[in-house]
Amino acid sequence: MEIAIIILLAVAVDIAFGELPNPLHPVAWLGKAISWETKWVPRWGKIIELIYGIGIVLVTLGVIVTCVYFLLIYLKQFSPVAYIFGAAFLLKFTFSLSGLKKAAVKVRDFMAGDNQDGARRQLRALVSRDTTSLDKEHLVSAVVESVAENSCDSFVAPIGYFLIFGVPGAVAYRVINTFDAMVGYHGHWEYLGKFAARLDDVVNFLPARLTALIIILATYLRKRDVAGAWHIMLRDHGRTKSPNAGWTMSAMAGALGVQLEKAGYYKLGDNHYSLALETIDSSLQLMVMVALLWSLVSVLTGVMLFVIA
């Protein structure tokens, strides 16, 4: 029953309080640590850079997960109640539904106020691409893509790893995902971040596909285009460079009947409807439904494990 209670508490904290300010947020601390580690990259060639990248991921991952593991052991020995609340708060820091929704709504509000420059600046909190020249449709597309992809990264995946490996598993996922977000892309950090990017691909392989299926179920419950979501997911999931992101984004595109585009990289879905502010609202509604469905499944899993034990 601990599993179900911890999940419910963590989700309740996220809904009630949202995100801590960066100076108090553990993920922000992790980001600062990664930034510090990248300052010491040896400039002795690509192989050394790759090895250094592997080293900082494994060392950081090992230190943080070990600390969390022993902290939870201490809390459990001290008090079962302290353990449950401590585990719930640690789990909450591995996902961020309220933060994702808030960031998407801010972009939408800037656009509704005809402040495209403000929307482009705010969008940087959601995507890593250059936002300076995005027009209205590409702004909407970027928000919807982020909502779809982060339905996995910011909820389904961390909760899933919690169910399998406990809080240390969820924390490990968040560390890997944060490394990928910061250095795991092509460009300046290509070799430094190559291991982080590949590791993120591995840990998201199953969660991304599971999230896409949950999006299709959410599409049915929201009375959207289920057949379109299924068809576009199967047709377009391989059009992105990421082996995982295309699954959730194409399912979302099909559900909403829109075409999502990152100019010069991919187009997902068919242009049955134009991209508008209402498209962002609809994607957020599907995201909330995905979260409700996965929360229900996760809590029921926790209850079943308690009954079986």
* Residue 9 pLDDT level (bands cut at 50, 70, 90): very high
Q: Residue 193: its pLDDT value, please? A: 87
Burial of residue 225, with CB atoms counted within 10 A of its CB: 0-12 exposed, 13-18 middle, 19 or more buried? middle
Q: Which two tokens stand for residue 59?
A: 């060392």
Percent of the chain at pLDDT > 70 equals 99
Query: Is the Cβ–Cβ distance between 144 and 258 less than 8 Å?
Result: yes
Say how many C-beta atoms besides its own lie within 10 A of residue 15's C-beta.
Answer: 11
Q: Of 175, 169, 255, whose CA–CA distance to 212 is shortest?
A: 255
Provide the pairing of β-strand 260-262 with 266-268. Answer: antiparallel
Q: Which pLDDT belongs to residue 191?
A: 85
Supply the pLDDT for residue 186. Answer: 65
Q: Which residue has the tokens 């399912």?
A: 251
Q: Is the pTM of this model over 0.85?
A: yes
How far apart are alpha carbons 246 and 192 in whole angstroms?
Answer: 24
List of residues 6+ apart from 100 with CB closer than 8 A: 126, 146, 147, 150, 154, 287
Give yes or no for residue 104 having a pLDDT over 70: yes
> What are the Cα distances from residue 211, in Å, to 69, 145, 159?
27, 14, 12
- Mean pLDDT computed over 287-297: 97
User: With 90 as the cut, is the pLDDT of residue 1 above it?
Assistant: no
Which one-letter amino acid corresponds to residue 67?
C
**Among the listed residues 263, 230, 304, 246, the one whose alpha carbon sits nearest the alpha carbon of residue 1:** 304
In sign, the C-alpha dihedral spanning 232, 235, 240, 241 is positive
Can you tell me the distance from the alpha carbon of 81 to that of 139, in angstroms, rounded to the nearest whole number?
A: 45
pLDDT grade, residue 130 (50/70/90)? confident
Task: Quote the pLDDT of residue 224.
Answer: 94
At residue 136, does pLDDT exceed 80? yes
Torsion-angle region of residue 264: left (phi > 0), alpha (psi -120 to 50) or beta? left
12: helix, strand or coil: helix
CB 30 within 8 A of CB 94: no
* Helix 80-92 with 46-78: angle, nearest 10 deg: 150
- Angle 252-253-255 from CA coordinates, rounded to 5°: 60
Structure tokens at 189: 């950090």
